[in-house]
Amino acid sequence: MEKVLSRSIRLLCVSGVAFGMHAAHAQETQSAPTAPLQRVEVTGSRIRQVDLETAQPIQVMTQEQIQKTGLVTVGDIINNMASAGSPDFSKGGSLVSNREQGGQYANLRNLGANRLLVLVDGKRWTASVNGYTDMSTIPSSLIDRIEVLKDGASAIYGSDAISGVVNIILKKSMEGGQISLYEGANQRHGDGKSKDFSVTYGAGSDKASILFSLSHTEQGAVFAKDRDITSFTYGPNHSTAGLGTGPWGRIRQVSSTGGATGFNQYLNHTGSYDGAGTGSAANVAGNYHTFTGAADDTFNSTSQMMFQDPTKLDTIFTKGSLELPYNTHFTTTAMFAQRNSSQQVAGYPLNSNTQASYPVYVDANSYYNPYPGQNLFFYRRTIERPRITDNESRTLHIDATLAGEFNAIGRSFNWDVGYNHSQVSGTVLSTGNLNLLNLKKALGPSFMNSAGVVQCGTAAAPIALANCVPFNILGGPSASNDAALDYVMSTGQATYGSTVNSATANIGGEVYTLPAGAIGFAAGLEHREVRGYDRPGQFEQSGYSTDLAGNTTDGRYTVKEAYLEFNVPLLKDAPFAKQLSLDLATRHSDYSNFGTTNNSKVSFMWKPVNDLLVRGTWGQGFRAPTVGDTFGGGQQTYDTYLDPCDSRFGDAARNPAVAANCASKGVPANFRQLNQNGVAITGAGGVQGAYPFQAGAGNAYLQPETAITRTVGFVYSPSFLPGFSTTLDLYRIKIDNRITAVSATYIANQCYVENIPSFCTSIQRNAAGEITSLARGNANLGQLSTDGADLGFAYRFPMTPYGRFSLRSDTAYTHSYKVKSAADGDWQEYNGDYTYYRFKSVNSLDWSMGNWSATWTARYYSPVRDECWDTDVECSNPTGTTESFGTGYNKLGAQVYHDLNVGYKTSWKGQIQFGINNAFDKKPRIAYAVNGGASSSSSVDPDLALDRFFYVRYNQSF
C-alpha cells in the first residue's frame, strides 16, 4: 500500500506542474473586496474577539516564514523555535523501541512533548497510547499559520496543556490550486535526502467551499559509518571504546547453575573489529585463543547502525464548509496519513543466556563443537543479519462542526456543536532477531552424513534437512549460510493503536456592558473517550525470541468536562489605563480512571499608554495519566548506563560518600562495570548492559500531574519608531506529582549518589557486583520546576532603494530547570547540562525587492556541560559537579548555525526557492551525553546539523 500511495501522490504533483504553469497565464487577477472586521478565536481563549492582542504570550509563524526555514515537516519547524527543547524521540534513536519512533513531536521548554497540547483549528489532534501527538501527519502545504501559546491552558483546553499549546491554523479556503516540489540533501555524501511533494486545490463560493490536498514527504537515512566522527561509539579518538560482542565464536564451559565458567576462548580469525575477516575451522579446539577482550575480537556495532532513521509520509487531506439556513454553517475536516519508518542496528549480540528462562548451548554432540562431550556456553554477534524494524503507522482524523449565531436579549451569541474522531493504528515488523526454539535445534546434536552434508540429529536418529538446518554459529560470518540463517532467524510482529472520540458543545457572546466595554463569555461541555492497545506478537511475548519480550497494553477511560470563561473590561481610556481587563476561566474534569480535577486561570492585560501592553497570567494545569501510563504491559530492554559504583569511571571513583554507599549495599571493593564482552568499561559514557532490564510497566494507581504556571511580560510598539515592536515575557512553571518513566542511569544514581532508599529496591546485583536486574516504569515521582524569559523583537525598516529589510529575533533564556526526584529528595539543577541550553536564539534578516527575496537566519545554542571522558581527558572541570554526570564535567562551547534562503517569483505565478542550511558548514562535535539517549549509534547529536544541507523548492499556483 505504501508504494502505491506514494507513487500516486508524486505522479500527481509532478504532472500537475505543467498544467499549473499553463493555467496561471490564463488566470485573471481579481481584487478581493475588503472584508469587515470579524471576531475570531485566538489560541488560549474560547472567547471570540476583534483585538488579537492577548494577555498570554503567543508566537505566530506564517506560511511564508515556514517555507523559508527549508524544513518540510511541522515537527521540525516547531523544534527549530528558540523555546523548543531537544525532541523526545530523536531522529537518531535507532535503538528506541517506542511506537512513536519515526514521528515528530515538539518539546516546549524541555517539559516533554506529552505536556504540550496540539490543536488543529482549535481541535485536539491524534495522540498515541503514550499521549504523544505526531505533528508530521499535518501537511505543511495547508497551513495558514502556526500559533504557539507559551503558557499553560488547562482551564481552557483540559489535560496536557502544561508547557503550552500549538494550534495549527489551516487555510480556510482556496480559489485554484498550488503544487509544491521540494528536494534537499547533505552536501558531502548526498545522504539525508529530503523530499516533499504536494498538490492542493480549493474551490468555493459564498455558500460552500472545499479544500483538498495530497502530500508525500521523505527524509532519507544517514548511516553512522559514512563519517569519521559518527563511525565509532565514542568518536574517532576512542575508536576501540564501546566495542561489543564479536562476530566469531567465543566459548566457555557451562557451570552447574547454567552460567559461564572455566576456560574463555575465542576463534582464531583474520580481520579486526569490522567483522570482515575469515574464521578458522570452528570444530577444532586448537583453533582458539584465550579471550582477553582485545579489539580484534570484538565488533564495532556502530558500523551497522543508522545515525538518522528514514521516514516516508503520505497524506490525504480535505476540508469543507457549507452555509446553511438560519445563520448556521457546517465545517468538516478529514485526514488520512500513513507513515513508514525504519530503524537499523547491529546484528544481535547473542549468548547462551540471552533469555535466562530458555538457555541455549552448543550441544555436546554438535558436529561443530570443538570439545565433544560437553555443552558449551557461547557468545556471538550475528552481523550477517542486522536488526531492522519497520513501522507502518496510519492516522485517521475526522471532525464535523455545526455552528451558528443568534440574537437574544438584545445581544449576539455564537454556538457550535462538534464531533471529533482521531485514530492511530500501526504494525511493526522486525527482522534480525533469533528464534531460540529453532536455534536450540540448530545447535543440537548433528553429524556429517554420507553425502558430506552436516545434518541435525544423529546417524542413528537423523532429522530431515527440511525440518532442521545445523548452524555453525562458532565459525562466524564466513562460515554461515543463508539456509541456516533463515532457519534460526525470527520475524517479529506487533500491532498498536489508539482512538479518541469526543463530542463538544460551546456557546459564547456578551452578557453585560460595563463602562469599559462588554463582558465576554464562553462556556462549553465535552465528553471524550480514550482507548488504546499495544500488542506484541505472541512469539515475542513467549520469551522464545531474542526480541525483547513484552506484554500487551490494553486500556480505556472516559472524561466529562465543563468550562466557563469570562473576559471583564475594567478600565478604558482612563489616565494610565488606556485598557485594563481580566480574563477568568475554570474547568471541571471527571475522569473514569482517577476521579475529578478542577483547574482555573486568571490573566490580565493593561495598557498604561497606547505604545505599551503589560500582561500576566496565573494558571493551574494538569496532565492525566495516559493509557500507556496506566495500562502499559512493560517490556525487556538492554539499557545503556553508567554504574555509579564503578571504581574507575563511576561517581564512586571521585566521591568517597558514594563509594561508602555502594559498599554498604554490598558492592565489592574495586568493582568494575563490565561490557557485553565481560571486559571492564573504558570510558565514562557507559555501555549497553549484558542483562535485560524491565521497563515501561503501567501503574493503575497513577494520579494526574498538577502544575502552576505564572507569566508576566510586556509588548512595546513605540509610535516614534513605526514597524518596531519588542516583547519580553517571564515565566515560572512548577509541576507536582509528575508522571515519569525513569532511565537505568537515573535509578542507579538516585540510589547510590543521592542515597534515596526507595530507588534501591529496584536494583539487584550478583556476587560480582554486576547489576543483573533493574525495574523502571512510570510513577508519580517528585516535582519539576523551570523558569526563564522569552525575548523577541521585530523591525520592518522603511523602504530603501535597495529593497525592503526587516529583522526578527526570538530568544529563550532558561534561568533554572530543576527536578526533585522524590518527596524525600533534594532539588537537582540540570540547567546548563547537555541538552538544557541556558540560551537559545533564532535571528533572521529578511530582504525583498520586486520579485526577489532572501532570508538569512542565525541559530544560537549556548555553551553546555558534557560528560568527561576521564578526569584528565576531555574534562575541563574534573572537580566540578553536575546533577547529570556527578563529579567532573567537560564544558562545550556555543554553537551558531547560519541558514540562507533565496526566492524568486516568476511571471507565471511560480516561485523558486534555493536554500542552504548550515551555510558555513559548522562541523558536528562529540558530546558523550547524547550517547544512549538522543543518539543510539554514536556521540554526535543527531538533532543538530551534521553537514551543509542544500535544498530547492518550486511552488506553482494555478
Domain co-membership, 932 together with 872:
yes
In the predicted model, what is the mean pLDDT of residues 331-351? 95
The per-residue pLDDT for 812 is: 97
Same-domain pairing of 719 and 851: yes
Structure confidence by residue, pLDDT tens digits, 474-504: 999 999 999 999 999 999 999 999 999 999 9
pLDDT number for residue 21: 41
Asked whether the predicted pLDDT for residue 22 surpasses 70, the reply is no
pLDDT-derived band of residue 666, with 50, 70 and 90 as boundaries?
Answer: very high
Question: Which residues have C-beta within 8 Å of that of residue 125, sequence separation ≥ 6?
Answer: 118, 119, 133, 135, 137, 138, 168, 397, 422
pLDDT, tens digit, 9 for 90 and up, residues 383-406: 999 999 999 999 999 999 999 999
> How high is the pLDDT of residue 32?
41
What is the average pLDDT across 61-65? 89
Secondary structure of 589-649 as H, E, C letters = EEECCCEEEEEEEEEEEEEEECCEEEEEEEEEEEECCCHHHHHCEEEEECCEECCCCCCCC
Instruction: Describe the crossing of helices 656-664 and 744-752 by its angle, rounded to 10 degrees.
Output: 100
Residue 856 lies in a domain: yes
**What pLDDT sits at residue 260?**
93
Tell whether 689 and 822 lie within a shared domain: no
Residue 27 lies in a domain: no
Residue 26 lies in a domain: no
Nearest by Cα to 681 from 178, 103, 244: 244
Q: Is residue 18 part of a domain?
A: no
The reply to whether 468 and 320 lie within a common domain is: no
Residue 6 pLDDT grade (very low, low, confident, very high; cuts 50, 70, 90):
low
Considering only 43-57, 337-351, 432-446, 777-791, which range has the smallest mean pLDDT? 43-57
Number of Cα atoms under 13 Å in the Cβ half of residue 784: 20
Confidence check: pLDDT of 30 > 70: no
Q: How far apart are CA 638 and CA 650, in angstroms?
A: 19
pLDDT tens digits, one per residue of 856-876: 999 999 999 999 999 889 999
Domain that holds residue 459: 244-299+348-381+436-488
Distances (CA, A) of 662 to 11, 665, 666, 671, 681: 63, 5, 7, 10, 18
CATH for 732: 2.40.170.20
Q: Which residues touch 278 (CB under 8 Å, ≥6 apart)?
A: 269, 270, 271, 478
Boundary of a domain, candidates 725, 755, 779? 779
Residue 29 banded pLDDT, cuts 50, 70, 90: very low
Alpha carbon distance 292, 272 (integer Å): 14
What tens digit of pLDDT does each residue of 173-212 get? 889 999 999 999 999 889 999 999 999 999 999 899 999 9
* C-alpha to C-alpha distance for 122 and 167, rounded to whole angstroms: 6
Q: Based on the domain organization, do 698 and 566 belong to the same domain? A: no
Q: Are 319 and 191 in a shared domain?
A: yes
Q: Average pLDDT over the chain, rounded to whole?
A: 91
Last residue in a domain, options 488, 506, 527: 488
DSSP structure class, residue 457: B
Query: Residues 361-378: pLDDT tens digits?
Result: 999 999 999 999 999 999
Across residues 773-797, what is the average pLDDT?
Answer: 91
288 has which bridge partners? 267
pLDDT at 742: 74
In this structure, are residues 219 and 212 in contact, taking their beta carbons and an 8 Å threshold?
no
Q: Which of 854, 796, 834, 856 is nearest to 925 (CA)?
A: 834
Model confidence band, residue 23 (pLDDT cutoffs 50, 70, 90): very low
pLDDT of amino acid 16: 44
- pLDDT tens, residue by residue, 78-90: 989 999 998 888 8
10 pLDDT higher than 80: no
Residues 277-308 pLDDT 10s = 999 999 999 999 999 999 999 999 999 999 99
Neighbours of 448 (CB within 10 A): 12
* Res. 35 pLDDT band, cuts 50 70 90: very low
pLDDT of residue 620: 97
| Residue 727 near residue 60 (C-beta atoms within 8 A) | no
Mean pLDDT within 218-240: 94
Out of 719, 753, 779, a domain closes at: 779
DSSP class of 281: P
The closest of 706, 555, 537, 527 to 629, measured between CA atoms, is: 555
pLDDT of residue 95: 77
| 177 and 138 within one domain | yes
Q: Which residue has the cell 488579537?
A: 52
Q: Report pLDDT digits (tens) over 105-155.
A: 999 999 999 999 999 999 999 899 999 999 888 888 888 999 999 999 999
pLDDT for residue 675: 85
Q: Are 695 and 710 in the same domain?
A: no
Report the number of distinct structural domains present in the chain: 3
In which region does residue 711 sit, left (phi positive, over 0), alpha (psi from -120 to 50) or beta (all else)? beta
pLDDT tens per residue, range 415-454: 999 999 999 999 999 999 999 999 999 999 999 999 999 9
User: How large is the average pLDDT for residues 616-631?
Assistant: 94
Report the alpha-carbon distance of residue 879 to residue 782 in Å, rounded.
Answer: 28
In sign, the C-alpha dihedral spanning 676, 693, 304, 644 is negative
- Does residue 39 sit within a domain? no
Does residue 238 fall inside a structural domain?
no
Residue 918 pLDDT > 60, yes or no? yes
Phi, psi of 515 (to 5 degrees): -55, -30
**Co-location of 250 and 153 in the same domain:** no
Kindly state whether residue 467 falls inside one of the protein's structural domains: yes
182 with 207, same domain: the answer is yes
CA distances (Å), 389 to each of 5, 121, 547, in order?
A: 21, 34, 11
Residue 2 lies inside a defined structural domain of this protein: no
pLDDT of the residue at 50: 64
Q: Is the domain of 892 the same as that of 821?
A: yes
Q: Same structural domain for residues 126 and 204?
A: yes
